[in-house]
Amino acid sequence: MLSHRFSNSPLAKIALEENTLAVIPLAKACEASDLGVINAGIEHAGLQQINEIWSVKDKVTRGISKQSQWSKTSEIICVSRWLSEEDCRDIEKSTYEAYVSIFSVLNDHGFMHPFRFWNYLPDINTGMGDAETYKRFCTGRLRAFTSLRIEPSYFPSASALGHHSRGAVIYVFASANKASHFTNNKQINAYDYPRQYGISSPSFARATALHLGDVPYLFISGTASITGHKSVEANNFERQLEVTANNIEHLLATANPDNRTLSTFKVYLRYPHHFQQAQNWLNGRYPNVTALITVADICRLELLVEIECFCQ
């Protein structure tokens, strides 16, 4: 039903395929483009032109509603909403408005159960204390969830990363079927973080499982070198990889009701000079998992790597 792959085929060709739900070019631009194309500002760590592709079995229909672009089948919808450079100057307010609008689009189309969010922001680590972009984004997101009466147990899996372009994009996958959201008992729930991480805790689950049709899937959120609520192994890239992998493997063992296996990784590196080291480590530890390695700013300055997973 849903597949995830990476390809250097021409973007125009991929976007025109009738079963392409969304294609995310690995390029610097973060701005609205053709329907079905999500320019997210995240670049490939190896400087190659690669496209991230989500495909479905059925024919996809596409359109625009309430400033958001959408692509859907009878089982799944992808909705994407961009924020301009001007919008990002008040990222809290714009995030709140974008989330409320996205949920309105989901409601209009009958897909009431979001199960995976991506949030790509400029200057994510800029600002001191509670004025940091990421913390202000978290407040806007939580305000939206609160106004929509979405309880923490219903927060879906998510990633939030910084790019080196202007503007921001938020996109989501949602289904008409309920999903199950999971915690990692080696970590404090993100939505229960102590006050030192901002006025509002991050609002996401560590993993989400669901069925599309009769097929089960598991989505693991952006995962990093965090134990409890603390970042560990600061400035040690390889050790951060190991802690991140241990968190992922713990979720596979404890938050995986349908016993799904790792299919793809999307890896975010703070520094591009770690590309070869990351590639060698991934090839050695996960030789059967296809990985896309990108450059992005992680939500905490001391974190050097984050990995999200798709399992089927």
Rounded-to-integer distance, Cα 236 and Cα 129, Å = 24
Mean pLDDT value across residues 280-298: 98
Bridge partners of 266, per DSSP, are 292, 308
- pLDDT score for 48: 85
Phi, psi at residue 306, to the nearest 5°?
-140, 145
- pLDDT score for 192: 97
99-147 residue pLDDT tens? 999 999 999 999 999 999 999 999 999 999 999 999 999 999 999 999 9
190-210 residue pLDDT tens? 999 999 999 999 999 999 999
Q: How many domains, in total, are found in the chain?
A: 1
Q: How confident is the model at residue 292 (pLDDT cuts 50, 70, 90)?
A: very high
Bridge partners of 170, per DSSP, are 81, 119
- pLDDT score for 16: 84
Q: How confident is the model at residue 184 (pLDDT cuts 50, 70, 90)?
A: very high
Q: pTM above the 0.95 mark?
A: yes
- pLDDT score for 92: 98
Rounded-to-integer distance, Cα 272 and Cα 117, Å = 25
The SS3 of residue 156 is coil
Rounded-to-integer distance, Cα 228 and Cα 285, Å = 24
64-89 residue pLDDT tens? 999 999 999 999 999 999 999 999 99
Burial of 195 (0-12, 13-18, 19+ CB in 10 A): exposed
Phi, psi at residue 122, to the nearest 5°?
-85, 150
DSSP string, 100-152: HHHHHHHHHHT--EEEEEEEEEESTT-SSGGGSHHHHHHHHHHHHHHHTT--G
CATH number at residue 121: 3.30.1330.40
Tell me the CA distances in angstroms from 108 to 77, 102, 147, 304, one per residue in order: 11, 10, 18, 39
- pLDDT score for 303: 98
Q: How confident is the model at residue 12 (pLDDT cuts 50, 70, 90)?
A: confident
Q: How confident is the model at residue 189 (pLDDT cuts 50, 70, 90)?
A: very high
- pLDDT score for 47: 80
Q: Which of 103, 201, 192, 202 is nearest to 158 (CA)?
A: 202
Q: How confident is the model at residue 1 (pLDDT cuts 50, 70, 90)?
A: confident
Mean pLDDT value across residues 46-54: 92
Q: In terms of residue numbers, what domain contains 67?
A: 2-311
